Chain A
Amino acid sequence: MDEPLRLVRNVLDKQIYDANDVRLGKVDGVVLLSRQGRPPRVIALVSSMPTAWRRLSPRLGDWIERFQRWLAPDLRVGTRIRFEHVVHTGIDVNVDIDGTKTDAFVWENWIRKTFVEKMPGGTGSGEKGE
């Protein structure tokens, strides 16, 4: 990646894929580190519902974050991936880490345990028809 990286066109809102080509979420936010007398540094991607909705309204984002904490107080709200893990940008963003080692699936796992596994046929894995 030698050309200037266009963070809005090629990073923000793009689909994140992990090292195993699994979807981790969209890039809802990009964190910059402000430094005195030096250019801001790009430090992390953020994928989280409150971050996305805060772009419409800070109050809406805060409400969604409170709702998530009420729903599952023990769960982390959102995923933060350090920018040095980004290996490709464009219409997708690829990172070189295993998504299961991040917080990207906490809500997926919670919904699986709370709802899916309680329904008939909710415990089988793989593709349908196998």
Chain B
Amino acid sequence: MAKKANELRLELLVGRRVYDVDHRVVGRLEEFRATREDDEWVISEFDIGRAALLERLAIRHLGWLPGRRPAGYRARWDQIDLSEPDRPRLTVPIEALKTLRRR
């Protein structure tokens, strides 16, 4: 199946490191949240980082392990630039992202 120029493959984006404006690693892309807009499903948010991975795997019980809280962020669709799929980048400072907390 030939890939079209404006198509992205979610399965190849999952697990990719996301970089901030200073080229530092923020975390890995772990989840893509979609919402319905008219008759379409569109990507509304991305979850990034270890907390996002734990939430995706629903490993709440492992949250009892000692140590610092795992970092995780939720970014809106316009806060990540996917024009280079191999190297997703934030379009805003990391402080502008919502923080994911371990429940």
Which residues from chain A sit less than 8 Å from chain B, CB to CB? 1-2, 4-9, 12, 28-35, 38-43, 46, 48, 51, 54-55, 77-78, 80, 83-84
Which residues from chain B sit less than 8 Å from chain A, CB to CB? 1, 6-12, 14, 30-37, 39-45, 56, 77-78, 82-83
Cross-chain contact A5 with B41 (CB below 8 angstroms) = yes
Cross-chain contact B11 with A4 (CB below 8 angstroms) = no
Q: What residues of A have a CB within 8 angstroms of the CB of B33 in the complex? A: 4-7
Complex CA gap A116/B44 in Å reads 47
Cross-chain contact A78 with B34 (CB below 8 angstroms) = no
Cross-chain contact B6 with A33 (CB below 8 angstroms) = yes
Cross-chain contact A55 with B12 (CB below 8 angstroms) = yes
Contacts A7-B34, A40-B8; is A84 near B39 (CB within 8 Å)?
yes
Cross-chain contact A7 with B6 (CB below 8 angstroms) = no
A-B contact pairs, 16 of them (CB 8 A): A4-B33, A4-B34, A4-B44, A4-B45, A6-B32, A7-B43, A8-B31, A12-B10, A29-B12, A30-B11, A33-B7, A33-B8, A38-B42, A40-B43, A41-B41, A77-B1
Q: 9 additional contacts, CB 8 Å, given A6-B32, A30-B10, A34-B83?
A: A8-B30, A12-B11, A29-B9, A29-B10, A31-B9, A34-B8, A39-B77, A42-B42, A84-B39
Q: What residues of A have a CB within 8 angstroms of the CB of B31 in the complex? A: 6-9
Cross-chain contact B42 with A51 (CB below 8 angstroms) = no
Complex CA gap A103/B9 in Å reads 20
Q: Which of A9, A78, A83 contacts B56 (CB 8 A)?
A: A9
Q: What residues of B have a CB within 8 angstroms of the CB of A40 in the complex? A: 8, 42-43, 77, 82
Q: What residues of A have a CB within 8 angstroms of the CB of B32 in the complex? A: 6-8
Complex CA gap A28/B36 in Å reads 22
Q: Taking each of B31, B34, B42, which has the highest tally of chain A beta carbons within 10 Å of its own beta carbon?
A: B34
